């Protein structure tokens, strides 16, 4: 089983003060995602390509295995939303 790592960002807990909201985040819609950069709760991804790179390489071990064509197709689909 992979190691569970919690973010140092307390998430919704900062807003609600409820312990059950610790490390939880409110997610927005994907509609018009191409027009809503930057991405992630901390605005660390400037482009959709940055988002995909994060999920391809950041998850240990291995992340999501995507070919360049897969990445291109996913980003093209997201830009259609």
Distance between CA atoms of residues 73 and 81, nearest Å: 13
Distance between CA atoms of residues 56 and 69, nearest Å: 13
Position 76 in a domain? yes
Position 73 in a domain? yes
Position 53 in a domain? yes
pLDDT single digits (tens) 24-57: 888 878 999 999 999 988 999 999 999 988 888 7
Distance between CA atoms of residues 61 and 1, nearest Å: 10
Total structural domains within the chain: 1
Q: Which domain holds residue 35?
A: 28-80
Position 64 in a domain? yes
Distance between CA atoms of residues 43 and 54, nearest Å: 13
Question: What is the pLDDT, as a whole number, of residue 65?
Answer: 78
Please compute Rg for the chain using Cα positions: 15
Rounded to two decimals, the pTM is 0.61
Position 35 in a domain? yes
Residue 10 predicted with pLDDT over 90:
no
Q: Which residues pair with 45 in a beta bridge?
A: 39
Position 34 in a domain? yes
């Amino acid at each position: 089983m992979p190691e569970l790592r919690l973010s140092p960002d307390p998430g919704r807990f900062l807003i609600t003060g409820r312990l059950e909201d610790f490390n939880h985040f409110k997610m927005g819609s994907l509609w018009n995602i191409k027009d809503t950069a930057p991405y992630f709760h901390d605005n660390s991804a400037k482009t959709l390509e940055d988002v995909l790179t994060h999920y391809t390489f950041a998850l240990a071990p291995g992340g999501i295995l995507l070919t360049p064509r897969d990445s291109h197709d996913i980003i093209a689909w997201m830009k259609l939303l």
